[in-house]
Chains A and B, each alone.
Chain A
Amino acid sequence: MSAPLSHLDLLEAESIHIFREAAAQFRKPVLMYSIGKDSTVLLHLARKAFFPEKPPFPLLHVDTTWKFREMIAFRNKTARDLGLDLIVHTNQDGLARGINPIDHAPSVYTDVMKTAALKQALDMHGFDAAFGGARRDEEASRAKERVFSFRAAGHRWDPRKQRPEMWRLLNGRLGSGETVRVFPLSNWTEKDVWRYLAREKLDVVPLYFAAERPTVERNGQLLVVDDERFKLEPGEHVEARRVRFRTLGCYPLTAAVASEASDIEGVVAETLAARTSERVGRLIDHDQSGAMEKKKQEGYF
């Protein structure tokens, strides 16, 4: 008898199963590629799921134009190295109206440049299913989500009307106007993601590793200055600190943490010992209570 599968092996197999079910059941899927660690794992699992073929869907990146430069470089290199189709979509209307995370409230900016942009992209290409790297352990309303998460016309999520999902059976039959979000990493935790990145020796955006970076301290959070668009408030000054990111979102809405972990082993060790949750570094989530659920009802990923 061989040893039973480890928990990472079980999670990997479950994700592969979900990818294959979705690709078989939906007409035109797309993989939401947000460049972060979860997307890296998601994409790696997609490659495993369809080996020896390439994943039978393109990648979609909703570019708010406020991503760190290293993220964009990593995105382009990944798509090129793997020979995958990459669709980059920006809400041109929002861009023309000058919506940005510095002058506008995080909720307004997120609505226009992320939520509305995503809906535009999905509608424009007629995707009926979108893979996302969301995990149930991220946040309280995510903990309630199904693997196949149905969205009514207009991409709305109604948490009171989720479809039953029993055993390993996945029912992907769409009603009229419905689309679906598919979450292969539903049962992964942040710790699993790092353990898996280490085990599979996957590259991630260097921002996840500690390095000297120009930072500004604001409301107890460490913000990294990525380009000249960052506006200093009175009394603030830029200081070099050794920091890294636990979660990567839009600059300057994602805060960094002080850290000495400059390689993947170090990050795994820090993650396993972490005392605060990763979303502490996400400024948009603190906007109001139940914020994530509200955003999701409106069609946020």
Chain B
Amino acid sequence: MTALTRIDEAGSTPLATASLNGILRVLTCGSVDDGKSTLIGRLLWDASDLFDDQRATLERGRRIDGGHPDYSLLVDGLVAEREQGITIDIAWRYFDTATRRFVVIDSPGHEQYTRNMASGASHADVAIMLVDARAGIKKQTRRHAAILDLVGLKRVVLAVNKMDLAGWSEPRFREIERDFQVIAARFHFDEAVAIPVSAALGDNVARPSDSMDWYRGPTLLSHLESLPSRGAEAAGPFRMPVQTVLRQGVDFRGLAGTVSSGVIHVGDPVVDPVSGRAANVKRIATFDGDLRRAAVGQAIVLQLDTDIDVSRGAILAAAEGRPHPARDLGTHLVWLSDTPFDTDNGYLLRTATDLVPVSAMEITSRLDLETLAEHPASTCAANDIVLARISLGRPTALDLFRNAGETGSFMLVDPISGATVAGGVVTELAGAEPKGARKAGVFVLSRDNLEGGLCADLGWGAADQVEFRRRANEVALLLSAAGIAVELDLQS
């Protein structure tokens, strides 16, 4: 039996145990205090199966203008957040309608916590951008819009909030809507619907407003209910980043991973783009039995008909339109660390399952949040959104983000602290030169160079190999700092 036939049988399962049909992840974003947490709290209050004890706790708590409970307390769960009345980190809330799971991610508006907003945004299917009707669009609103664009969000709802404090004014709403259309066009959002709301009073949140008869569009909730679930539209060529190798006896060497794009069938050919080696799928194994077919989102184990020596870090892909064995990347990234970018600081590039030393990195431009234009730049600091060129110490399989999101996104990691310093997407790819065709004047630091002396104390265990790569990267960094062009070749 396959995982997929189980769903076809859902009709025969008792209603109580039936699964929901899909998931939609909804993000709130926008500038500080524009009412994001209040809006989400209000949505949970009006439309979700919130428990009685949670309702009672809120009723007993502090009140906001107009005597309403402070709905933001349903999401602002940290003590510091409640004390300061701001959101610091994203909150994840879950509620079900008859057919689908809503996952609501409430993000902080404060600039200092942009890294948390970026985390939330990358997980969302649709974003609700809040704007305070009195203040209109602010710099932080534009920053958030730029981050939505970067992480690949195409569906955005503009919620013009606090309409109660703006006299429920249609001209004011239209003015902000027009300003927002400019941003939506700049960032190529496919869908940018504007809805006038009052989060505190609940107008146009889950029920239509009595105070704005000039507005005839949907409420926020009915608009969200009309959107397709996550994954329902997934297409694209087959990709599976290999997470780990699982064995049974001498005959079974399985490559475990989650299908990140496309579909795979038993018998289909797959390639490892870095080595160029190809094989056919012999078995798609799972705990619940073998499958004939697996699609995006499924966690599986692939057994190939010939052993092509792939392991963690590789991507198995359809032969047509395969990922690039990339060395030089054009990227679009948001800097998340409080420590600014530093050319002398080595970085590691974390892809779906690979961790690759960065041998050189250069910022080329930075987004101006007033004009939304790119300006030439060579530095970047916390919360900046920049374009950068990255060269890798060895090739790894990558896609253009716009073609295959999961295999075209990355995080930059500080090798010493382990901290995630940036999140980004691949916008341009240049491949590795074929083996043997090295450029003149480039020193190739190979495994042989290192094994004898510097790494003589290391064995073949996983931990030792991590250390091996770390040392190789350090040596490469020192040599390039001394003006020697270096390339790492750590294949065994």
Residues of A within 8 A of B (CB): 2-10, 12-13, 16-17, 20-21, 23-24, 27, 47-53, 136-137, 139-144, 146, 159-160, 162-169, 171, 173-175, 178, 186-187, 189, 191, 195, 198-199, 265, 268-269, 272, 274-277, 280, 289-290, 293-294
Q: A5-B231, A164-B411 are in contact. Are A144 and B77 (CB under 8 A)?
A: yes
Residues of B within 8 A of A (CB): 3-4, 6-8, 10, 13-14, 16-23, 51-54, 75, 77-80, 82, 88-94, 96, 100-101, 103, 115-116, 118-119, 122-123, 151, 229-232, 243-244, 246-248, 252, 254, 256-258, 260, 285-288, 293, 295, 297-299, 301, 312, 336, 348, 350-353, 355, 405-406, 409-411, 413, 415-420, 423, 462-463
What is the chain A residue whose CB lies nearest that of B260? A168
- Could you tell me if A6 and B14 are in contact, using CB atoms closer than 8 angstroms? no
Q: Given A166-B123, A173-B418, 17 other A-B contacts at CB below 8 A?
A: A9-B7, A10-B297, A12-B299, A16-B299, A20-B244, A20-B257, A24-B353, A50-B246, A139-B77, A144-B90, A167-B409, A168-B260, A169-B351, A275-B51, A276-B51, A290-B82, A293-B79
Task: Flag if B258 contacts A166 (CB, 8 Å).
Answer: no
Return A71 CB to nearest CB of chain B, in Å.
25
Of the residues A51, A140, A160, A272, contact of B285 by C-beta under 8 Å: A51
20 contacts between A and B (CB under 8 A): A3-B7, A5-B295, A6-B22, A7-B19, A9-B297, A10-B231, A48-B286, A52-B252, A53-B246, A144-B78, A166-B119, A166-B122, A166-B420, A167-B405, A167-B423, A168-B258, A169-B411, A175-B417, A187-B94, A293-B78
**Complex contact B410–A165 (CB within 8 A):** no
Contact of B78 among A159, A174, A265 (CB under 8 A): A159
Cβ contact within 8 Å between B348 and A265: no
Residues of chain A contacted by B419 (CB below 8 angstroms): 163, 175
Interface of chain B, helix or strand or loop or mixed?
Answer: mixed
How far, in Å, is B428 (CB) from chain A's closest CB? 19
Interface pair B51/A137, CB less than 8 Å apart: no
> Are A269 and B415 in contact, with the CB atoms below 8 A?
no
Other-chain contact of A173, B18, B92, B96, B415 (Cβ < 8 Å): B415
**4 residue pairs, one from A and one from B, having the closest CB atoms:** A140-B77, A173-B418, A6-B19, A16-B299
Which A residues are CB-close (under 8 A) to B101? 7
Q: Which residue of A lies closest to B99 (CB)?
A: A7
Q: Select which of B298, B415, B462 is within 8 A of A5 by beta carbon.
A: B298
Q: Nearest residue in B to A51 (C-beta to C-beta)?
A: B287
- Are the C-beta atoms of A52 and B248 separated by less than 8 Å? yes
Residues of A within 8 A of B406 (CB): 167-168
* A53 → B minimal CB distance (Å): 5
